Structure 1
């Protein structure tokens, strides 16, 4: 059944009512007698969990509604012929003429190993599915390239200026320097299986199945790499770059700034405010928090000095829940609240980190290894890199 606006509004209303109930129970827990605290604490945890479920449901409904409005892509005749031939290869293993059609459709060439590049339309569908399921893809910049050797120039500053009188001499000033950065690329693979009978079935959507299976397997692995990857045969993750407590004007390019909470494994609302304002105003305009689900539950209980909750539910369709006025991206790969954990990141992730997809997902059909299943060994080149180390700040839950 199609998702309607009223469905989202109903969930938003339920979210608001549940938040009011949560506040009432949590306030009683905080202010109540010791004998009541144990009972109320359990109720608060249950309501906190329900708030998370409703918040996720509202976001999912909004995402599905947006997906229904997404226009279908169209391609050239050559691309259409290539897609038809590729799906015949998936179903039957017949690859007659597929190599030539692939070249006509401007796909990357294939080696003589039985593997073929996925049609561009399907390739982009996989990337769109990955974006829907990967928190990092939802907030970071994404580009698609045709070569694995992607590099980018960035300004390292150094330009000079000065004040002069109307007729005074204008001596030469400093010249800005440029640096070249490149993406840490890696090859990710999956090997979904289907029976030949299911592939022969005219009602079996081989295209949708292949896209969904590949996206599901890729999303978990690459999402972790975009955040924590060490850069060896995989992307270098955002939190894998060096960190220092020094401010932007004294920190080397490529080093993130971290703020120390002063308490191991804990933080309060003041530290979140410090984190926000450590970021320059230009970055704050598109700022968002990133944290794990358990950390979201933690921040829902935080209040300001006047007793107001810092977390606010989104009570209208299209309006996300916020923390101190900024959106929250839940990413289960973020470290949980613990001593010395880099538990919260805040900033403009699109300016900070770029995900690089090399177009040309390749599929090798294998009907022999795991009979009666047909395996589809699917590979994709993907990378990531830190582009602007001033655009994101990290909160480290450390005593010193």
Structure 2
């Protein structure tokens, strides 16, 4: 059998037909974290020695990590530079009535706001010894690519929710919030509704959830969803109406999502737990409200020269994120009022 790895997807800077140990990797995902990994060697057990030279199962079981799914519900765009800008109109074009022969005075023009999603670069720079690459019973390069992709996905998901906007995306929970409605609230400020109690849900929490849904205007409710973590969802699933019916509706058939008040629920483990002054529940149309800007796909460089006998794997991904429509996302705040 040839030692050439066949039919593997090609990464940037790689080509098909590279011998095993070359720069071709087997499928990797887009998404992100800033991660630093120690060098792999066959000298110590937990740093790689467990894989060399014992006969072990070629597939490694990994502990699954919670990856935030905000990317799946947001608007994702590919950009050519880090200077990406988006224009948002914050007011319609006013109109007026006139008789058939009456004068038509000039009307006001729309108002534009420029949105510049804060961008940052995710990177990972692990290395493995050449002996490790040669002797391990599994494909170390493919495994490293998978580990990097998972960590990147975990980190970018956390940034989309709570990122500071400094060298990383700005999370939607870090924007200012206020109780004012869309008609009077400043652009860029998200509306929050109080839960009715200082550190928990108040009385009739199901009515507060209905108010949260109805605070989102009808055009945005098409395609809207709830976002919360598993602990909050466990509590919400126990809420009942006055006649004893659960607010939560399980999917009627396989593959159909469960719903809350008729809207799907997205579990995002980066959302906070229920506590005083937190924002544990979001409801909105994230496709209209949150923008993810990617400059390129994940790039991985293989460097066998700089630190012999180690082979370095330098992975980078440039990504940004920001709220582009503060009317499309509503939040529930744990507060009395």
**TM, length-normalised to structure 1:** 0.66
Report the alpha carbon displacement of residue 83 of structure 1 after superposing the two structures with TM.
2.9
The worse-fitting range, judged by mean Cα deviation, of 165-174 and 373-382 is 373-382
For the Cα contact (< 8 Å) 1:283–1:348, is it kept in 2? yes
1:166 to 100, 113, 116: 100
Q: Residue in 2 aligned with 1:305?
A: 242
* DSSP 3-state at the match of 2:271: coil
Over 3 Å counting, the alpha-carbon distance change for 1:330 and 1:144 in structure 2 is same
Give the distance between the partners of 1:218 and 1:246, measured in 2 at CA.
36
Over 3 Å counting, the alpha-carbon distance change for 1:202 and 1:292 in structure 2 is closer
Report the alpha carbon displacement of residue 232 of structure 1 after superposing the two structures with TM.
0.7
Q: Residue in 2 aligned with 1:252?
A: 186
Report the alpha carbon displacement of residue 138 of structure 1 after superposing the two structures with TM.
1.5
> Once superposed, what is the RMSD of the aligned Cα atoms?
3.2
1:294 to 231, 236, 241: 231
* DSSP 3-state at the match of 2:30: helix
- Unaligned 5+ segments in structure 2 are 1-6, 34-65
Report the alpha carbon displacement of residue 179 of structure 1 after superposing the two structures with TM.
1.7
Report the alpha carbon displacement of residue 265 of structure 1 after superposing the two structures with TM.
2.5
Higher helix share: 1
1:236 to 147, 170, 175: 170
Kindly indicate whether structure 1 or structure 2 has the higher relative contact order, using CA contacts under 8 Å at least 6 residues apart: 2
For the Cα contact (< 8 Å) 1:158–1:174, is it kept in 2? no
Q: Residue in 1 aligned with 2:311?
A: 374
Matches within 5 A, 1:163-242: 163-197=97-131, 199-200=133-134, 205=139, 208-242=142-176
For the Cα contact (< 8 Å) 2:30–2:298, is it kept in 1? no
Over 3 Å counting, the alpha-carbon distance change for 1:241 and 1:221 in structure 2 is same
Correspondence 1:327 to 2:230: no
2:29 to 126, 131, 145: 126
Report the alpha carbon displacement of residue 191 of structure 1 after superposing the two structures with TM.
2.8
For the Cα contact (< 8 Å) 1:190–1:217, is it kept in 2? no
Over 3 Å counting, the alpha-carbon distance change for 1:214 and 1:248 in structure 2 is same
* DSSP 3-state at the match of 2:14: helix
For the Cα contact (< 8 Å) 2:239–2:247, is it kept in 1? yes
- Unaligned 5+ segments in structure 1 are 1-71, 94-117
Over 3 Å counting, the alpha-carbon distance change for 1:174 and 1:340 in structure 2 is same
**TM, length-normalised to structure 2:** 0.78
Q: Aligned pair count?
A: 296
Give the distance between the partners of 2:116 and 2:238, measured in 1 at CA.
41
Correspondence 1:140 to 2:74: yes
Q: Residue in 2 aligned with 1:283?
A: 220
Q: Residue in 2 aligned with 1:91?
A: 21
Report the alpha carbon displacement of residue 326 of structure 1 after superposing the two structures with TM.
0.8
Q: Residue in 2 aligned with 1:336?
A: 273
Give the distance between the partners of 1:315 and 1:230, measured in 2 at CA.
40
Report the alpha carbon displacement of residue 207 of structure 1 after superposing the two structures with TM.
6.4
Correspondence 1:387 to 2:290: no
Give the distance between the partners of 1:255 and 1:213, measured in 2 at CA.
37
Report the alpha carbon displacement of residue 364 of structure 1 after superposing the two structures with TM.
4.2
Matches within 5 A, 1:97-108: none
Report the alpha carbon displacement of residue 340 of structure 1 after superposing the two structures with TM.
1.2
For the Cα contact (< 8 Å) 1:143–1:357, is it kept in 2? yes
Q: Residue in 2 aligned with 1:357?
A: 294
Report the alpha carbon displacement of residue 259 of structure 1 after superposing the two structures with TM.
0.7
Q: CA offsets per residue over residues 220-241 of structure 1, 9 Å max, x none? A: 2111111111111111111111
Give the distance between the partners of 1:152 and 1:73, measured in 2 at CA.
37
Correspondence 1:154 to 2:57: no
1:273 to 196, 210, 222: 210
Report the alpha carbon displacement of residue 273 of structure 1 after superposing the two structures with TM.
0.2
Over 3 Å counting, the alpha-carbon distance change for 1:265 and 1:197 in structure 2 is same
